[in-house]
Structure 1
């Protein structure tokens, strides 16, 4: 797929939680934490969070909702 946007959907984080729960492999927990930190850094707005048009360039993150 050629999709470069992030709509802040929870399915990946939920999957990482279940993978950690089933395997007890800290790698899944670390991945979830890294994603959370990125959400805070790149999607946080004054009134909440915004999806991102293009996640491929972290130096030019433009929120979809502003």
Structure 2
């Protein structure tokens, strides 16, 4: 699903530059920011964290191979 950052920034209430930095791995979102992003996607914050953990584990496993 492709979402443009500017509209998503307005929808979530998270600044566009902050979203860019989070996406690039240059910033870590606060719990408040995670909650805002989750709300914009109509999911629970835990859903985002579960997916992040799953992806990190997958990356860790592939780097061992």
Report TM bin, short chain: 0.3 to 0.5
Structure number with higher relative contact order (C-alpha < 8 Å, ≥ 6 residues apart): 1
Q: TM-score, normalised by structure 2?
A: 0.32
Q: TM-score, normalised by structure 1?
A: 0.32
Structure with the bigger percentage of helix: 2
Structure with the bigger percentage of strand: 1
